[in-house]
């Protein structure tokens, strides 16, 4: 792992030019980056992750001026959203411009975003091109929010890891498609649907809307720890924990409200408090799942978060992780 300095940033940019893979810190999660204009380098991402070739990647760029290169027929709404939220945790799906089909999973659409992390932006500027980057983990598993998560999971399949510290957001970007007849929210994230609608000035279809476009994070099972993961309403969580304990199985219990859950620690039950604020919860979720994954437990339990818009991204990740 490399501490970001002008020298290591320059070395990482050269690694990308040479067709290498670089793990990059962003504000959301760590990404596994390759030169987006180099199909052979992009294919290395799929091999390193064990990712299906038809599962598209997101192109990361240093600024919104790249929209006209990677995409075509860019709508005015995309420019407004980019001006408001870039750099930031928003991915826009647009009609494909010059993005190779290896990046788009064979689709005529492409995902684009400008990350809000100083190390990622420094690398993108030094590199001078687009970087295709999914999360830097094995396909379908928990996304990394620390550099050592990447090293532990991918090891020497990555040519270089830039250590930018913990990720500030902690869950992947909001994905909004503007490539079809109407805007569709494909993946919830830190930017809420209501905020996007206000800027866009038109209604956005929710994630449950059937669409032909494939995008990262849309599979029913995703973000999953190795340990079986279950999400329960607060009023049912204690009963489920006691059932597990009676059968001799060990479990960690992630809870928000200690009053409602009321689970005491025992050798087999490990209650763990989680933040009551959705942004704080999101920031910690993946790191906590990885922490308990290393403990050899039989089950991970979690209290279901509130059914409000602010918790939508957390609910989405927990639902997919528990499938």
Whether residue 246 has pLDDT greater than 80: yes
For 73-94, write each residue's pLDDT tens digit. 999 999 999 999 999 999 999 9
Residue 236's pLDDT is: 92
The CATH code belonging to domain 6-200 is 3.90.870.10
Percent of the chain with pLDDT over 90: 87
Fold equal for 6-200 and 229-321:
no
Integer angstrom CA distances of residue 42 from 94, 128, 130: 19, 17, 11
Domain limits, the chain: 6-200, 229-321
Which of 51, 101, 106, 317 is closest to 207 using CA atoms? 317
224 phi and psi angles, rounded to 5 deg: -90, 135
How far, in Å, CA of 204 to CA of 277, rounded? 25
Residue 262's pLDDT is: 77
pTM over 0.85: yes
Residue 162's pLDDT is: 98
User: 258 falls in which pLDDT band (50, 70, 90)?
Assistant: confident
Burial pattern 44-71, b for ≥16 Cβ within 10 A else e, equals bbbebbebeeebbbbbbbbebebbebbb
- In this structure, the number of other CB atoms found within 10 A of the CB of residue 277 comes to 12
User: 217 falls in which pLDDT band (50, 70, 90)?
Assistant: confident
308 phi and psi angles, rounded to 5 deg: -120, 160
User: 119 falls in which pLDDT band (50, 70, 90)?
Assistant: very high
CATH pick for 229-321 out of 3.40.50.11030, 3.40.50.150, 3.30.390.30, 3.30.460.80: 3.40.50.11030
How far, in Å, CA of 38 to CA of 194, rounded? 37
Residue 209's pLDDT is: 81
For 194-209, write each residue's pLDDT tens digit. 999 999 999 999 988 8
Q: Which two tokens stand for residue 175?
A: 């994905």
Q: What is the mean pLDDT of residues 226-247?
A: 93
For 137-147, write each residue's pLDDT tens digit. 999 999 999 99
Q: What sign for the dihedral angle of Cα 11, 17, 20, 22? A: positive
* Average pLDDT across the chain, whole number: 95
Whether residue 25 has pLDDT greater than 90: yes
Contact of 138 with 49, CB cutoff 8 Å: yes
């Amino acid at each position: 792992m490399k501490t970001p300095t002008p020298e290591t940033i320059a070395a990482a940019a050269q690694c990308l030019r040479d067709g290498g893979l670089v793990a990059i810190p962003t504000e959301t999660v760590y990404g596994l980056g390759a030169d987006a204009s180099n199909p052979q380098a992009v294919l290395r991402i799929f091999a390193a992750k064990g990712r299906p070739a038809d599962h598209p990647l997101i192109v990361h760029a240093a600024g919104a001026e790249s929209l006209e290169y990677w995409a075509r027929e860019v709508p005015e709404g995309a420019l407004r959203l980019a001006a408001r939220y870039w750099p930031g945790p928003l991915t826009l799906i647009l009609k494909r411009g010059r993005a190779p089909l290896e990046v788009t999973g064979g689709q005529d659409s492409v995902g684009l975003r400008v990350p809000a992390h100083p190390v990622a932006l420094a690398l993108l500027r030094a590199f001078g091109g687009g970087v295709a980057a999914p999360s830097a983990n094995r396909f379908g598993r928990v996304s990394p929010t620390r550099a050592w998560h990447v090293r532990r999971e991918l090891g020497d399949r990555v040519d270089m890891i830039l250590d930018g510290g913990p990720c500030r957001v902690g869950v992947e970007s909001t994905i909004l498609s503007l490539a079809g007849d109407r805007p569709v929210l494909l993946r919830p994230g830190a930017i809420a649907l209501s905020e996007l609608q206000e800027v866009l000035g038109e209604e956005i279809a929710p994630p449950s809307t059937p669409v032909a476009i494939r995008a990262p994070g849309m599979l029913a099972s995703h973000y999953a720890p190795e340990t079986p993961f279950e999400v329960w309403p607060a009023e049912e969580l204690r009963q489920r924990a006691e059932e597990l304990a009676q059968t001799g199985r060990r479990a960690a219990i992630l809870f928000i409200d200690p009053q409602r859950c009321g689970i005491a620690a025992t050798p087999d039950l490990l209650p763990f408090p989680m933040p009551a604020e959705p942004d704080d919860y999101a920031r910690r979720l993946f790191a906590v799942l990885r922490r308990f994954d290393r403990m050899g437990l039989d089950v991970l339990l979690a209290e279901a978060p509130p059914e409000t818009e602010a918790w939508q991204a957390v609910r989405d990740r927990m639902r997919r992780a528990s499938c």
